[in-house]
Amino acid sequence: MPSTDLPYAAEAESSLGYDELEVLRNQYYKEIESGHVTTQSKFNYGWGLVKSGSSELQTEGVKLLQEIYSASPSHRRECTYYIAVGYYKLSNYTYAKKFNDLLLAVEPENMQAQSLRQLIDKAVTRDGYIGMGIIAGAAAVTGVLIAGLVKRSRK
């Protein structure tokens, strides 16, 4: 069983630096200009975007990885995990779980996917508690407002 600090899914909680991403971006766009983008360059750039700190770039990275996933069955394994990481970083836990479960169905002993599953489950639980707190707070405010209106109407 993975340790509690989840070393295998560390990239799900870390970001790629600007300079590192710039190298991948330059290679990708250089290939676009030449008229032939290799799957590897597209994957590397998508991976880098997913690992960025920006949700806009992460969304773009997931899109690139999904294009590869759809067009190249031989690259699905690599794409599946990083698509799941991308959705996790975007807080879209439903899709993160869906893609991670696809990988676990084929590779149940995959430590990266197992630890990512734990991160997703913790995030869903945390967000559930936050949602319940918001609902409870809204109900309390509504109750106070109604009590105030009832009290005011009795005068």
The domains found in the chain, sorted by start residue, are 7-154 (1.25.40.10)
- What pLDDT was estimated at residue 6? 44
- Residue 24 token pair: 């991948």
Is the separation of the CB atoms in 125 and 109 below 8 Å?
A: no
Quote the percentage of the chain above a pLDDT of 70.
74
Is pTM beyond 0.95? Reply is no
Q: What is the pLDDT of residue 132?
A: 47
* 54-70 per-residue burial string, b: 16 or more CB within 10 A, e: under 16: eeebbbbbbebbeebbe
The residue with greater pLDDT, 98 or 11, is 98
Give the pLDDT confidence of 98-128 residue by residue, as tens digits. Answer: 999 999 999 999 999 999 999 999 999 976 5
Tell me the C-alpha distance between 121 and 118, whole Å: 5
